[in-house]
Amino acid sequence: EKQIGILFFVFGISQVLSMAPVGYFFDYSNNKIRLVKFASTATVAITLLTPLLAKPYGENMALIIFLRIIQGITTSFLPSGLNGITLGIVGSTGFTFQVSRNRMMMNVGSALVVSIASIIAYFLYPNTGLLFIVSPLACMGLLYQLGRIKPQHVHTDAARCLIITSPTMEEYETLDEENEIMQEAMAMQQQLSRTNSTENNCYDTVQGDICGVVGYTPPHATNDVADQRKEDTTVALPNPFLINGENSVEELFQQLRLWLKRKPSEESSDDEESFHKDTDSNSNYPPSYNLGYECDHANTGAYWEQNDEPRNTPQRLRTPLAAVMNPTFLLFTAVSFSFHLSNTTVLPLVMQTISPANDPQKGILLSGLCIVVAQAVMIHSSKYCGDKSPIWGRKNIFLAGIFSLSVRCFLLAVLVATEETIESFIKNDHYLILVLLTQVLDGVGAGIIGTLYILITNDLSSGTGRFSLLLGITTSSMCLGGTFSGYIGQSIAQDYGYDVAFAFQGFLSLIPGFLYYFFIPETLPDYARPKPNKRRRRLSQFLRALAKQKEKSFASVNSFLRKSSRSSRSDTSKDT
């Protein structure tokens, strides 16, 4: 157990020390997809090598420690890399929705992997070496999906929060709207083509009816009269795709394309914010070696200036120290550390509480069930964050996630302290169910915190160009808190009992809650709040123009038919 503790400790410390430098490197990298592929492959390879090279009684402990250090470094590439790729594709405006969906799918994958691993371990116990096959299978799926992403779609400036909107997402939104417009226009054109087909018809000069084909001679008309009236009565109908004889549908489409390409800031609306936009290709700033408060490549404001409204142009890249020394960010890092200091050890303590000492196989299933229940709830809580945080704000939901840990710990402390009393009234299985139900609160808290800490880091790094660096710092603070949490929780449980350990973790979880409530303001930016879709409004304007054009076209055709019919009858009566 001591050797296992050492391996976990060196793994966590290597992650903590490498996440910030890796994040700094990712802010300048244009090869994020390749780096994530390499890191995930190396992580899986080390996972497979560790049990193969390990010897009994820790004879080659130094080699295993070295492998765990390397594995900690490679895994530190994944948070900054995957979130940077996501941000580079969708931009900050679509980041809230996409991060929540990414976390949802991550929790689905975790639940499936744990379920499969628990079943394999239950039936193959104590020979559980086949469990390691799950890791390369999951990695193959990751590599396949990463290969489907084109590197040019990951915009570097959008990926590091130097600009707010991603040109990739704007391009896809424009394509989607143009497809909708084309479908509407084609349906309208089919309707108008039926009317326009009368352009190839002629009129019966006697009765004023439309004849089938140009040159057709009515049976009741003489050949002389028909030949005489042929050129006069076969007159081209007005083009239904002309509006007042001037504007065609093609011109409307050209006008629509200009509308779609317009920047939102060009629209005359006081309540709509303009977004950061970079129309050029990925800009490549060289790495900054300036650690002061001055901004790179330009003399802009100090780090504490608040940019409430996004600018029309990309913001200037800030130095690492200028971005990190934001007081709100430093407080948020402390909150992240203290939350995981009180949270990480709770799940292992729960597993130890419900696992029977004389039945290891049942303990494996119960431990896996603890994780699956929490992951199932995390799926919904992650989706909830993406749907409701733009409306209710980040702060209220984040506080709910923090205080759910406090409630969970106090409930566990009561259940463990009154275990014998509870079992005297109900069955032992019912007591296990009560303990497992507390994992619902684990899913609520971990799902909310795991999703919102990425979004809040994105809010605080907006316009700095240091998103991956700041995300690496917040993630490393979480890893550091989790590393110390395991030692503190296990020590208290061993010396004073599980009920005292749960109670202590519950009181400890109140610290990040009060810090966040009193000292950290709402970080939700204006561009992340729901607002009317400007592109949809332009699309509706265009479709209304088409509808008016259709009405005018049908009216002009009907008017022409009536006039032609009256003129034909009058000419026939004169001839008679």
**Residue 367 placed within a domain:** yes
138 and 179 housed in the same domain? no
**Residue 302 placed within a domain:** no
Cα separation, 368 vs 361, whole angstroms:
11
**Residue 158 placed within a domain:** yes
36 and 176 housed in the same domain? no
Question: Under a CB-based contact definition with an 8 Å cutoff, are residues 23 and 83 in contact?
Answer: no
242 and 142 housed in the same domain? no
What does the mean pLDDT of the chain come to? Answer: 78
User: DSSP state, 242?
Assistant: E
Please report which confidence band the pLDDT of residue 249 belongs to, taking 50, 70 and 90 as the band edges: low
141 and 217 housed in the same domain? no
pLDDT at 289 over 60: no
More confident residue, 422 or 91: 91
**CATH number (domain holding residue 15):** 1.20.1250.20
Tell me the pLDDT tens digit for each residue of 311-333. 435 567 778 888 999 999 999 99
**Residue 285 placed within a domain:** no
More confident residue, 208 or 413: 413
pLDDT of residue 175: 56
Tell me the pLDDT tens digit for each residue of 417-443. 888 777 677 766 788 888 999 999 999
Burial class (CB in 10 A: 0-12, 13-18, 19+), 197: exposed
More confident residue, 564 or 212: 564
SS (H, E, C) 50-78: HHHHCCHHHCCHHHHHHHHHHHHHHHCHH
Instruction: Name which of 457, 165, 458, 163 is nearest 315 in CA terms.
Output: 163
* Mean pLDDT in residue range 386-415: 94
pLDDT of residue 307: 43
**Helix, strand, coil shares, percent, the chain, to 5:** 75, 0, 25
Question: Under a CB-based contact definition with an 8 Å cutoff, are residues 55 and 489 in contact?
Answer: no
Tell me the pLDDT tens digit for each residue of 20-64. 999 999 999 999 999 999 999 999 999 999 888 888 877 888 999
pLDDT at 232 over 50: no
* Mean pLDDT in residue range 210-221: 44
86 and 125 housed in the same domain? yes
**Residue 294 placed within a domain:** no
155 and 24 housed in the same domain? yes
61-75 vs 2-28: helix axis angle to the nearest 10? 30
Instruction: Name which of 220, 194, 214 is nearest 202 in CA terms.
Output: 214
Please report which confidence band the pLDDT of residue 264 belongs to, taking 50, 70 and 90 as the band edges: very low
SS (H, E, C) 101-157: HHHHHHHHHHHHHHHHHHHHHHHHCCCCHHHHHHHHHHHHHHHHHHHCCCHHHCCHH
349 and 413 housed in the same domain? yes
> What DSSP line would sit under 428-488, residue for residue?
HHHHHHHHHHTHHHHHHHHHHHHHHHHHHHHHHTTTTS-HHHHHHHHHHHHHHHHHHHHHH
pLDDT of residue 68: 92
Question: Under a CB-based contact definition with an 8 Å cutoff, are residues 548 and 414 in contact?
Answer: no
152 and 81 housed in the same domain? yes
Instruction: Name which of 45, 105, 108, 42 is nearest 75 in CA terms.
Output: 42
Alpha-carbon distances, residue 174 vs 89, 199, 252, 281 (angstroms): 15, 35, 16, 18
492 and 387 housed in the same domain? yes
Cα separation, 286 vs 296, whole angstroms:
10
**Residue 270 placed within a domain:** no
More confident residue, 358 or 243: 358
pLDDT of residue 297: 43
The number of C-alpha atoms within 13 Å of 122 and in the hemisphere containing its C-beta is 14
Provide φ and ψ at 432, rounded to 5°: -60, -40
Cα separation, 429 vs 435, whole angstroms:
10
CB atoms within 10 A of CB 414: 14
> Domain range spanning residue 215?
171-265+533-571
153 and 178 housed in the same domain? no
pLDDT at 235 over 90: no
Question: Under a CB-based contact definition with an 8 Å cutoff, are residues 429 and 363 in contact?
Answer: no
501 and 558 housed in the same domain? no
**Residue 272 placed within a domain:** no
pLDDT of residue 242: 46
Instruction: Name which of 46, 154, 177, 28 is nearest 91 in CA terms.
Output: 154
352 token code pair: 């130890």
215 and 348 housed in the same domain? no
Overall domain count for the chain: 2
Cα separation, 98 vs 448, whole angstroms:
15
Tell me the pLDDT tens digit for each residue of 178-205. 565 666 666 665 665 555 555 444 444 4
Provide φ and ψ at 243, rounded to 5°: -105, 110
Question: Under a CB-based contact definition with an 8 Å cutoff, are residues 525 and 389 in contact?
Answer: no
pLDDT at 77 over 50: yes
* Amino acid at residue number 565: S
**Residue 523 placed within a domain:** yes
| Residue 315, beta-bridge partner list | none
89 token code pair: 């594709």
User: DSSP state, 203?
Assistant: E
Tell me the pLDDT tens digit for each residue of 144-191. 999 999 999 999 899 999 888 888 887 665 555 556 566 666 666 566
More confident residue, 63 or 216: 63
Instruction: Name which of 125, 134, 129 is nearest 363 in CA terms.
Output: 125
Tell me the pLDDT tens digit for each residue of 62-74. 999 999 999 999 9
Length of the chain: 576
Cα separation, 250 vs 515, whole angstroms:
60
Helix (H, G, I), strand (E, B) or coil at 315: coil
